[in-house]
Amino acid sequence: KNQVEQSPQSLIILEGKNCTLQCNYTVSPFSNLRWYKQDTGRGPVSLTIMTFSENTKSNGRYTATLDADTKQSSLHITASQLSDSASYICVVSTGGGNKLTFGTGTQLKVEL
C-alpha cells in the first residue's frame, strides 16, 4: 500500500529559529515528491517539486532534500517567520500524472 508518513505531527518554534520536517514514503512507482504549505481554510500551495534525480531544491527560505534510495525527504525552514505557521504536507506522485499520495502533514506554529 502506498504510504507517506510525516514527522513530527506538530511543532512549535520561536520566530527566527530554523526547523526541519521529515517525510518517509513507500510509494511505487515513484514519479516525484512535492512539499506543500496549507494555511487553515485554504488550498495547498506548492513549495517544491523534485524528481528522483534531484537531491535538493530551494524556494526562498525553504529547502527540500530527497534521498530516493532510503525514500526519505526533508523540508528545512530557515529563519522562521510568523507567516510560516501552517500545515506542511509531503506528497508523492505515483507513476506519473497527478495521482498524489498525501502525508498527514506537520502542523507548524511559529511564536514570538
Partner 1 sequence: KAGVTQTPRYLIKTRGQQVTLSCSPISGHRSVSWYQQTPGQGLQFLFEYFSETQRNKGNFPGRFSGRQFSNSRSEMNVSTLELGDSALYLCASSLQIMNTEAFFGQGTRLTVV
Footprint on this chain of partner 1 (rule: CB under 8 A): 31-32, 34, 36, 42-46, 49, 51, 89, 91, 93, 96-105
The C-alpha cell at 48 is 517544491
Q: Which is nearer to partner 1, 75 or 80 (CB)?
A: 75
Q: Which residues are CB-neighbours of 70 under 8 A, at least 6 positions away? A: none
The C-alpha cell at 20 is 526541519
Count CA atoms within 13 Å of residue 18 on its CB side.
8
Residue 36, φ and ψ in degrees, nearest 5:
-125, 150
Write the DSSP symbol of residue 17. Answer: -
- Spatial distance between the Cα atoms of 101 and 83, rounded to a whole number of angstroms: 26
Q: Which is nearer to partner 1, 42 or 112 (CB)?
A: 42
Considering the complex, what minimum distance in angstroms separates the CB of residue 111 from partner 1?
Answer: 23
Considering the complex, what minimum distance in angstroms separates the CB of residue 28 from partner 1?
Answer: 15
Considering the complex, what minimum distance in angstroms separates the CB of residue 57 from partner 1?
Answer: 12
Q: Which is nearer to partner 1, 52 or 78 (CB)?
A: 52
Q: Which is nearer to partner 1, 41 or 69 (CB)?
A: 41
Considering the complex, what minimum distance in angstroms separates the CB of residue 112 from partner 1?
Answer: 28
